Amino acid sequence: EVQLVESGGGLVQPGGSLRLSCAASGFTFSTYSMHWVRQAPGKGLEYVSAISSDGGSTYYANSVKGRFTISRDNSKNTLYLQMGSLRPEDMAVYYCARDPNWNYPHFDYWGQGTLVTVSS
Amino acid sequence: QSVLTQPPSLSAAPGQKVTISCSGSSSNIGKNYVSWYQQLPGTAPKLLIYDNNKRPSGIPDRFSGSKSATSATLGITGLQTGDEADYYCGTWDSSLSAGVFGGGTQLTVL
């Protein structure tokens, strides 16, 4: 069974940093590209970042470019999102999602999400 | 302001058919496949349609997708109360080099 379990969310002050993790199981992690998508409270889905299966290619939404870094450790079946210079508008539930087709991305499995709260 | 445009809300009676539109541009829907997601309250999104019109295993054929030029449509027939959810379209934007979503459509079945 495919499972994606996010962790690392919590309360952080504006300007602070946080690292999210997404532990994958039930599939060959190293053969799938992965993404982060977020959802602010009561709002819609917002795309955050993507990483290719080997980690060699990464993409970011303009809203997080230069502040967030996506990475992965295929030996640990884990996806990461290092978030820095956090702003109140970054407050959201962050989902990791599996993508079976890097050329035409879509998200066939999602984690349950982890909440990031940015507040002083 | 979302890159893809969806109606904020729709309602229909049980058993009826509803279509949800998703409008984009030449750099996103016009160049890439569209996917659709269902989000029930308090849960993570679930893939309903990918590559414009393909259904993952386990998704009933009441759900269908289509695309024409820079717009896409999700159709749901035989509406059930359990279909009450938020629906999102998504695709890749080749100019932004990032994924994009619609603002979501809240479907009410009454």
Task: Tell me if B88 and A105 make a contact (CB, 8 A cut-off).
Answer: no
Mean pLDDT of A3-14: 97
**From A60, which residue of chain B is nearest by alpha-carbon distance?**
B98
**From A34, which residue of chain B is nearest by alpha-carbon distance?**
B99
Q: What is the mean pLDDT of chain B?
A: 97
Percent of chain B's residues with pLDDT above 70: 100
Coil/strand/helix, residue A30: helix
Task: Tell me if B92 and A104 make a contact (CB, 8 A cut-off).
Answer: yes
Task: Tell me if A45 and B37 make a contact (CB, 8 A cut-off).
Answer: yes
- Put simply, whether B101 touches A (Cβ < 8 Å) is yes
pLDDT in tens, A46-90: 999 999 999 999 999 999 999 999 999 999 999 999 999 999 999
d(CA B84, CA B93): 29
Torsion of CA B5, B25, A108, B14, to 10 degrees: 40
pLDDT band with cut points at 50, 70 and 90 for residue B1: confident
Task: Tell me if B47 and A62 make a contact (CB, 8 A cut-off).
Answer: no
CB burial readout A22-41, b (16+ within 10 A) else e: bbbeebebeebbbbbbbbee
CB contacts of A101 in chain B (<8 Å) are 51
Coil/strand/helix, residue A94: strand
d(CA B9, CA A14): 34
pLDDT band with cut points at 50, 70 and 90 for residue A40: very high
User: If we measure between CA atoms, which residue out of A7, A118, A88, A113 comes closest to residue B39?
Assistant: A113
Please list the residues that pair with B80 across neighbouring strands.
Answer: none
CB contacts of B92 in chain A (<8 Å) are 104-105
Alpha carbon of A33: minimum distance to chain B alpha carbons (Å): 13
**From A44, which residue of chain B is nearest by alpha-carbon distance?**
B103
pLDDT in tens, B26-67: 999 999 999 999 999 999 999 999 999 999 999 999 999 999
